Amino acid sequence: MEVEDLLQECLKAAEASRLNPVVSAAMRMDYSSSRDLLCAELAFLLQEAVEMKWPFVPEKWQYKKSVSFNDKTNLSDLISKHLTQLLVLLKTSIMAQEGPSAMAVVFLVDRFIYWRDESSQLLKIAKLLHHQHPDTPIAPQLVIRQARVYVNSGRLQKAEYILSSLINNSGTTGCWVYHTDSDRVLIQAVSVQVRGVILQKLGLWLQAAELIWASLVGFYSLPQPDKKGIGTSLGLLANIMVSMNDGDFHTFRTNPVIDMKSLLGNTSHRLLSAAHAAKMAVVCGQYTPLYVLTNAVLLFGEKTHKPQGRGREVDFRLVESSTVLMAKHRAEQQERKSHKKVVLGGRTLTKRQPNQHQRAVKITFQ
């Protein structure tokens, strides 16, 4: 059965369960059977999700300094392999009135469903579960997912309301229990990152760069820096610096709140800074910035006259590093043939002038 059909069945089950909450013995049996069929790794993940062990489903490599080959296998691969099984469990959990289990499954499949552009269905299920089981916590990842969906559909005010609430209230959302203060900081950092994406979509490059930088401060402030968050923000920053003009870049680089030299070096050239940010993003495990890196190097070559002395050496080093990284990327793609990429289209938004709160750079992570 197709994923879309299973999601539709889960949605119908959630609507029916709300109208008629009676649970039969057969429903309980179906739930127990579908849960018992999970492999040990998925069963362990599901239990951790129920216990609110993490606000985002983590990857194996995300918080490690040294990453082995096995660590580079994303959880999305495991989940995609068993997606049908998890959605069957979601349906039986809903019918058996097992709110915590159902919400945990929604939490686990959320990211993969988002890549398939089916988040609207899954979020409807989550809302129905929340109405029926108000004491069941909703993962912050799902709250931020709703903000991302609002951004993609152009409802920026709704997205801003969600993100501002998470930032200003230290990530507090419903009855979700944080195990550490650093988890709150993580939620704030991701919320700031998504606000930066909003401004990027609007073409407000300087303001977007300032917020993305603030998110980097949050990710680096964690006891174990979040490599996935850092890589994503660096990739976004690279894209933004390629798009912004030299005047905005100078304003950004010389902002006393932003210590750009400590992270991206002392270069004063916008495209070289973009290339360096993209290269760092690749190291953190995100592969899409490879193309930004190559583009930045090519643009730098077009905009600069024939370099003299060491300038020429810098050019060749960047081109060489991008070539090596591209080769590494192709090799890893061959090893990960089962991974299916889904490219989602975005809605084009109209530019608008920044207001006062959009220009705010100084964000306190509590």
CB 152 within 8 A of CB 194: no
Q: What is the pLDDT of residues 68-81, one digit of tens each?
A: 444 444 677 788 88
Q: What is the pLDDT of residues 192-206, one digit of tens each?
A: 999 999 999 999 999
Residue 341 has pLDDT above 60, yes or no: no
Judged on CB neighbours under 10 Å (0-12, 13-18, 19+), 190 is: buried
Does the pTM exceed 0.85? no
Residue 301 has pLDDT above 70, yes or no: no
Residue 28 has pLDDT above 90, yes or no: yes
Residue 288 has pLDDT above 50, yes or no: no
Residue 181 has pLDDT above 70, yes or no: yes
What is the three-class DSSP state of 62?
coil
Give Cα separations from 226 to 21, 51, 281, 285, 354 (angstroms). Answer: 41, 21, 12, 11, 29
Residue % of the chain over a pLDDT of 90 = 55
Gap between the Cα atoms of 294 and 312, Å rounded: 16
Gap between the Cα atoms of 277 and 232, Å rounded: 10
Q: Which long-range contacts (CB under 8 A, 24 or more apart) does 308-313 make?
A: none
Confidence at residue 253, expressed as pLDDT on a 0 to 100 scale: 92
Higher pLDDT, 349 or 88: 88
**Domain ranges in the chain?**
1-57+75-136, 203-337+357-366
Residue % of the chain over a pLDDT of 70 = 73
Higher pLDDT, 346 or 114: 114
Gap between the Cα atoms of 83 and 113, Å rounded: 9
Confidence at residue 244, expressed as pLDDT on a 0 to 100 scale: 95
φ and ψ at residue 363, rounded to 5 degrees: -120, 130
Confidence at residue 118, expressed as pLDDT on a 0 to 100 scale: 92
Minimum mean pLDDT range among 129-133, 194-198, 288-292, 322-326: 322-326
Residue 127 has pLDDT above 60, yes or no: yes
CB 59 within 8 A of CB 74: yes
Confidence at residue 290, expressed as pLDDT on a 0 to 100 scale: 52
Mean pLDDT of 129-134: 94
Confidence at residue 44, expressed as pLDDT on a 0 to 100 scale: 92
Mean pLDDT of 75-98: 91
Give the pLDDT band of residue 264 (cuts 50, 70, 90): confident
Find the helix or strand (DSSP H, E) in which 328 lies. helix 310-335
Residue 23 has pLDDT above 80, yes or no: yes
Confidence at residue 62, expressed as pLDDT on a 0 to 100 scale: 47
Give Cα separations from 67 to 60, 156, 184, 227, 331 (angstroms). Answer: 9, 37, 25, 11, 17
Q: What is the pLDDT of residues 211-225, one digit of tens each?
A: 999 999 999 999 988
Give Cα separations from 203 to 103, 208, 232 (angstroms). Answer: 36, 8, 19
Mean pLDDT of 349-358: 38
Confidence at residue 153, expressed as pLDDT on a 0 to 100 scale: 92
**72: DSSP letter:** G
Confidence at residue 1, expressed as pLDDT on a 0 to 100 scale: 65
Mean pLDDT of 85-113: 96
Q: What is the pLDDT of residues 46-61, one digit of tens each?
A: 999 999 999 998 875 4
**Across all residues in the chain, what is the average pLDDT?**
79
In the numeric block, the tokens 């080959």 are attached to 69
Residue 305 has pLDDT above 70, yes or no: no
Q: What is the pLDDT of residues 31-45, one digit of tens each?
A: 999 999 999 989 999
CB 238 within 8 A of CB 229: no
How many helices, marked H, and strands, marked E, lie in the chain? 17, 0
Gap between the Cα atoms of 136 and 126, Å rounded: 10
Residue 122, both tokens? 């899954």
Give the pLDDT band of residue 286 (cuts 50, 70, 90): very low
